Amino acid sequence: MKFDLSVLTDNLGAIADGFMVTLGTWLGGVALGLALGLLVAVLQLFGPRWLRAILRVYIEIIRSTPFLIQLFLLYYGGPALGITLDAIPAGLIGLGVYGSVYFAEIFRTGFNSIPPGQLEAAECLGLSRLQVIRRIQLPQMLVLILPALVNMVTILCKETPVLSIITVPELTLVLSGIGSQTFAFAEVLLALCLGYLALVEATSRVGQALERRAQRYLGTSPVKKTLQEDIA
């Protein structure tokens, strides 16, 4: 057997389609996970006690079970509960729910990192809870938790191959099919590695650019002065 890249060039259209499905499900899952995670974090911190207990159970269940089992339950077990989803929506929802609990913990840590003095000052000024979250806590904590968020986004990117188990036509499933038909497994595995390397590297570069901007924000905004005053 010899190394033959024509296997990839002959199937370039199918590979590109698989790459786009991977990209779409990943970004969609990240967006859903961020939205759910922020909601869960806010309700955990400011919701009633019974709701916080329910959310804690939700977080522990998702964190304690493998992502593959969650996908199986959603895609194959869902019809028993009247929930019938196609492969791509099921993969997107599964990825978003899986990521939401980790994003929620990151957001919760970020909210708790805001100095109490700022919150007390906001209460003295008569700001509502929603105004405190939107104008004081959310902008500052996003700067502080940015590295953790980028890391979690990268982890979700590397979880997308699992979606092939429920027949999502993403990059792993497409290349596996090409390898099975042509027996050119070295070529398809190389293409798979390069595809995910490109996604992870692009995420890393975007994260680094955002972190540099965040550092400039901390260095020039009133946030840094306020933090220094609270520490002093």
CATH number at residue 76: 1.10.3720.10
Residues 6+ apart with CB under 8 A from 31: 96
Q: How many domains does the chain have?
A: 1
Full residue range of the structural domain in which residue 64 is found: 6-231
Encode pLDDT of 175-228 as tens digits.
999 888 888 888 899 999 999 999 999 999 998 888 888 777 666 554 444 434
In this structure, is residue 1 part of a structural domain?
A: no
Structure tokens at 54: 């329910």
In this structure, is residue 109 part of a structural domain?
A: yes
What integer pLDDT is reported at residue 217 of this predicted model?
65
- The percent of the chain in helix, strand and coil, each rounded to the nearest 5, is 85, 0, 15
Q: Is 2 helix (H, G, I), strand (E, B) or coil?
A: coil
In this structure, is residue 181 part of a structural domain?
A: yes
Angle at 140 between CA 93 and CA 39, to 5 degrees: 30
What is the overall mean pLDDT for the chain?
86
Q: How many CA atoms lie within 13 A of 45 on its CB side?
A: 19
In this structure, is residue 119 part of a structural domain?
A: yes
State pTM to two decimals: 0.85
Q: How many CA atoms lie within 13 A of 6 on its CB side?
A: 2
Encode pLDDT of 51-102 as tens digits.
999 999 999 999 999 999 999 999 999 888 888 899 999 999 999 999 999 9
Place of tokens 């009633």: 48
Estimate to the nearest angstrom the gap between the alpha carbon of 190 and the chain centroid: 25
In this structure, is residue 62 part of a structural domain?
A: yes
Query: 212-218: which pairs have CB atoms within 8 A and are 24 or more residues apart?
Result: 214/143, 214/146, 217/143, 218/143
